[in-house]
Structure 1
Amino acid sequence: MAVATMAAGLGILVPSVAYAAEGCKVDYKVASQWGGGFTGDVKITNLGDAINGWSLAWTFPNGQRVTQVWNATTTNAGDQVTAKNMGYNGAIATNGSVSFGFNGSWSGSNGVPTEFKLNGAVCTGTVGEPSTPPTSTPPPTGGATAMETVAAMEPGWNLGNTLDSVGADETAWGNPRVTQALVDNIAAQGYNSIRIPITWDNHQSKTAPYAVEDAYLDRVEEVVGYALNADLHVLINIHHDSWIWMADMNTNRTVVEARYEAIWTELATRFRDAPPEVLFESVNEPQFNNVDDATAEALLDDLNVQFHEIVRGSGGGNATRVLVLPTLHTSADQDHLDALSTTIASLDDENIAATVHFYGFWPFSVNVAGYTKFNAEVQADIEGYFNRAYNEFVANDIPVIVGEWGLLGFDAHTGTVEQGEKLKFFEYVGYYARQKGLTLQLWDNGQHFDRATYQWRDAELYNMMKASWSTRSGTASTDQVYVAKAGAVADVSLTLNLNGTTFQGLRLGTQNLVQGTDYTISGSTLTIKASRLTSLLGDRSYGVKANLHAVFSQGVPWRISVISYDQPTMSAASGASSTFAIPTQFKGDQLATMEAKYADGTNAGPQNWTSYKEFARAFSPDYTAGTISLPTAFWNDVNDGQKVTLTFHFWSGKTVTYYVTESGGNVTGSLT
């Protein structure tokens, strides 16, 4: 059967063909296609006896070639391709599946292969006697290993600020009640797992035997059922209890252990016979009050061991269910990784996974200290974090789930980090996690996927993340080209970050611009010609006048906004510190960061180790209202009566200097 699939971001209809075969089924899809290249997705479903090691062979009908592959290795002999498993995905249980992907080249036609062979047997769609002697044996456990289970969970998504709400109901933090439709829509976005954070405090008796409300357990089970109905793996845990009451474990150990035991005993009983796609996480972001790290690590070890004993002792499916253990603070600092390794070694259990969280290099992730760009330091932080998790666990056959990831600044505002720099961060995290075999679960408390409309609030960000699940995307030094409204228009050059791709062309909507006339390309330097910029700028009114897209041989195109602007200006103002805002004419420009200093040159305001203040915390632009507000959080750390020099840095490169003085709760602001 053949159907048509829309290639992401390109509007191309390409074929998708599913083949049924003897003992197996292969779904071969052309996920995206461009001039001379394409991305293929391959899913193998084993219908016969369990195998431990696979080789899939096919012949391209039109001379296509594999140029890059992930989750498999390939060899080519002319049109014939053989894909073989990696060390972590060789076992396929009966009715189990594995997937891999590749980038390829094509010319003329891109037809689908007509036949696949799995371990030498031609796939024909029915389960029968093997056409060749079996070359593998079932996995020792008779099912998927922990490594395979966690790999199958990539990519994952968090149902944040819902069942983890600190309140009487899952809607307490502003999200709607979970429905089957919501979970189905998450699965439809391409996610393979869902993490369901759960806070138990308001639903558990505060006195022995610390019973959990049956109605709440019923609701948790119902939501888990939604995930299983959508063919998702699901991870459940103890969430904000980690800081509400568990953090006092050192001084209240008996009660904390009793409450913890009561929750996991009830959960283990309730989900004893759940399928292996349900995983348990012992506790979210463990932390302990007023103790040193050594004591905290010992307390966490006690909880993780207690969790393991409770679940394994309950029998049934819990005897082999994958259990997920966090590091202290879910940090990938080496000492915390080492401590968890010691715990895992003591348990001597092959069905254990480790978990850490990742919210990026802190100054970049919240836009403080002048870290406005995705630079080499930010990239190195990603690599170091993931390398440590890989070396400690994955390299030793212990899978790792990055149970939450994103940018920390999203807690304040998703615009804290400039869009293009944000996209580069998400592209690289997705790519590097794949290189290290880590499963990512995006933290979403409602700021990303709209739970009422089932649409992404930032489709550009989602498309970049989705592409990173299987390939790389090209980017550039910026996604903004600023042209002064009153100035002469000149050529503008950008540096392309090819990321293993090749540049294919520059587009305006569906129109391919003309190389040599509209733009030139020299190595990784893209130059947009003044004549084309002039036509795009039109009447030169302020703001984004056009969006160009650099198209690469794989991944999503890179948007380049052409912006008409002038020097931003500000006006004098006065008012209460709780509501003070600077009247600002942005004139098409956007604010990157703000510095604050006293007259003697010392740093003013919060986080006074740096002159550059935190975006959306110490200052916040409102482009519609035409203001930059300085909230109470800024004034709380400003000396009363002292004049502060503010320097506003804009993405065009322009700056504005402004002076403020706060006295007795009142602020005056001026240009002198």
Structure 2
Amino acid sequence: MRHPPRSALLAAVGAVALIGAVTVPVVTASGATPACSVEYSVTSQWGSGFQGSVKITNNMAAVSSWSLAFDFTGGQKLTQGWNAKWSQSGTTITAASESYNGSLGSGASVSAGFIASSSGSNAVPTSFKLNGTVCNTDTAPSPTPDPTDPEDTAPPVLRVSGNKFVDTNGGTRRLLGVNRSGGEFMCVQGRGIFDGPVDDASVKAIADWKANTVRIPLNEECWLGLSNINPAYAGANYINAVKDLVARVKAHGLTPVVELHWTYGQYTGNSAGCSDVHAGCQKPMPDMQYTPAFWTSVANTFKGDRAVVFDLFNEPYPDRATSTTTQAWQCWRDGGTCPGIGYEVAGMQDLVDSVRGTGATNVILAGGIAYSNDLSQWLTYKPTDPAGNLAAAWHVYNFNTCSNESCWNSTLAPVAAQVPLMAGEIGENTCSHGFIDQVMKWFDDRSLSYLGWTWNTWDCSLGPSLISSYDGTPTAFGTGLRDHLRALNG
């Protein structure tokens, strides 16, 4: 799905006040350990300046380099510093690790000092970020599942059996829920990792709709930590944020679907979303340069957790580049040099092989061509999966070509008769739910799976948005999905 215009990211920030040489303990509202803590001290002060220090404690996963950011709001000017690369831009101060102290394990601390000029009150900074993560505030840790609460039941380990998703006991499972957009675009735009909160309360709000699945779109350049991405939002920081969200989703009994949305590769042909080589928009196909490495890394990360589902690529559209449908489907499966696409393509078989090469046996989803709206030859070009855990993904909006029952009966029903079928995105641009009501009925009648796009507070006239607030308040469009899920699973 295409995305609405860029919006401001609002982040809650914690506060710490440390005056003089006195150190005040970092205490959060709930008493929980923060993701990181910063103790700020003024160790000496004179008429025109002062000496200060920061002690940084990392409570997240280990990092190989770190960068601390905070603001001087009292007109202070940095003059020199030590034990970090210190710099100032406007009011923002940045302290970046040196080569000798970049490694910071979980629970480890590092200190650095500086000298600055000051006049007036020498106001103490109130917000600190370590590698983009807000410090001195609750991390909203995943709650321990309560087996007596159906909302807190761990999600099932899934596998494919014929044309159904089943759990370890052989019981049929339908994947019904929402998409949680943000991880595919915020990082590449230099604005963070997720769009809006992904804390426990926001995930619980999804569960309160009686959803059982959350699809999490990702960006391959951010996951792999390529050089064009702000390090605060890339590599280990990005991966850890995704892992944390997956854990929160699971803690509420929801199945996480991790999905590759935006990829590398320059495409300027028919229906190009952008001219940039970087992963800043939807490309017609994944690239061979980075996508197999992305899926190898993702599969290695989650292969020990078969409750996690892998969705190989958001919305392939090689049909817009090639001159024939046959060429499009060949490109889709086999990759390589595809007509009309200027970079080497990774086909669906390449990606299945990358996942299975790690030993991961998680369920894999593969969407068709025409932005995953065309499954007419999916069975003919179906990739080979040695684990036998491959399912079909399909997307539909009211403006797509295959948006009526006649098309669904002729192209979807044959696929659904042989493999599990999930509509990974359903939506409409009417700010209403008349169209998705039809989609849900067709899928309900056949016990198939579907996910609404999207659990983000966007203007529904710019893109299908299910909510107006992350507490789960639905839009007029979202009301249809919420009420339907509650009727099915309430």
Q: Which runs of 5+ in 1 are unaligned?
A: 1-24, 29-43, 46-52, 54-85, 95-138, 364-379, 415-421, 473-672
Q: Pick from 180, 183, 196: which aligns with 1:159?
A: 180
The 2-side partners of 1:348 and 1:283 are apart by 19
Alignment-derived partner of residue 391 in structure 1: 413
The 1-side partners of 2:445 and 2:435 are apart by 15
CA contact 2:178–2:211 (8 Å) conserved in 1: yes
CA contact 2:205–2:472 (8 Å) conserved in 1: no
Give the greater-gyration-radius structure (CA): 1
Alignment-derived partner of residue 389 in structure 2: 351
1:440 offset after TM fit, Å?
1.1
Per-residue deviation, residues 36-82 of structure 1 (Å, max 9, x unmatched): xxxxxxxx99xxxxxxx9xxxxxxxxxxxxxxxxxxxxxxxxxxxxx
Alignment-derived partner of residue 182 in structure 1: 202
Alignment-derived partner of residue 300 in structure 2: 269
Indicate yes or no: 2:309 matched with 1:279.
yes
| 1:170–1:287 CA distance, 2 compared to 1 (3 A) | farther
CA contact 1:200–1:238 (8 Å) conserved in 2: yes
The 2-side partners of 1:362 and 1:282 are apart by 21
**Counting strand residues as a fraction of each chain, which structure ranks higher?**
1
CA contact 1:330–1:355 (8 Å) conserved in 2: no
Map 1:88-127; keep pairs closer than 5 Å: 88=164, 93-94=168-169
Q: Pick from 346, 352, 355: which aligns with 1:311?
A: 355
| Aligned partner letter, 2:440 | G
1:347 offset after TM fit, Å?
3.6
1:223 offset after TM fit, Å?
1.1
CA contact 1:387–1:436 (8 Å) conserved in 2: no
Q: Pick from 369, 376, 381: which aligns with 1:337?
A: 376
The 2-side partners of 1:199 and 1:244 are apart by 15
Q: What TM-score comes out, normalization by structure 2 length?
A: 0.52
Per-residue deviation, residues 71-101 of structure 1 (Å, max 9, x unmatched): xxxxxxxxxxxxxxx9958x6645xxxxxxx
Q: What SS is found at the alignment partner of 2:313?
A: coil
Alignment-derived partner of residue 223 in structure 1: 245
The 1-side partners of 2:266 and 2:467 are apart by 28
Alignment-derived partner of residue 438 in structure 1: 448
Alignment-derived partner of residue 464 in structure 1: 480
Q: Which runs of 5+ in 2 are unaligned?
A: 1-146, 155-160, 335-346, 459-464
Q: What SS is found at the alignment partner of 2:215?
A: strand
1:286 offset after TM fit, Å?
1.3
1:465 offset after TM fit, Å?
2.8
The 2-side partners of 1:362 and 1:271 are apart by 33
1:299 offset after TM fit, Å?
2.2
CA contact 1:163–1:169 (8 Å) conserved in 2: no
Q: Pick from 356, 360, 364: which aligns with 2:398?
A: 360
Per-residue deviation, residues 588-611 of structure 1 (Å, max 9, x unmatched): xxxxxxxxxxxxxxxxxxxxxxxx
The 1-side partners of 2:265 and 2:445 are apart by 33
The 1-side partners of 2:421 and 2:311 are apart by 12
The 2-side partners of 1:92 and 1:286 are apart by 29
The 1-side partners of 2:240 and 2:181 are apart by 19
User: Aligned residues, how many?
Assistant: 299
| 1:352–1:193 CA distance, 2 compared to 1 (3 A) | same
| Aligned partner letter, 2:364 | L
Map 1:461-540; keep pairs closer than 5 Å: 461-469=477-485
| 1:401–1:158 CA distance, 2 compared to 1 (3 A) | same
The 2-side partners of 1:346 and 1:385 are apart by 26
Alignment-derived partner of residue 455 in structure 1: 472
Higher RCO (Cα < 8 Å, 6 or more apart)? 2
The 2-side partners of 1:470 and 1:452 are apart by 19
The 2-side partners of 1:431 and 1:160 are apart by 25
1:329 offset after TM fit, Å?
2.8
The percent identity for this pair of structures is 19
CA contact 2:333–2:382 (8 Å) conserved in 1: no
| 1:222–1:299 CA distance, 2 compared to 1 (3 A) | same
CA contact 1:165–1:172 (8 Å) conserved in 2: yes
Q: What TM-score comes out, normalization by structure 1 length?
A: 0.39
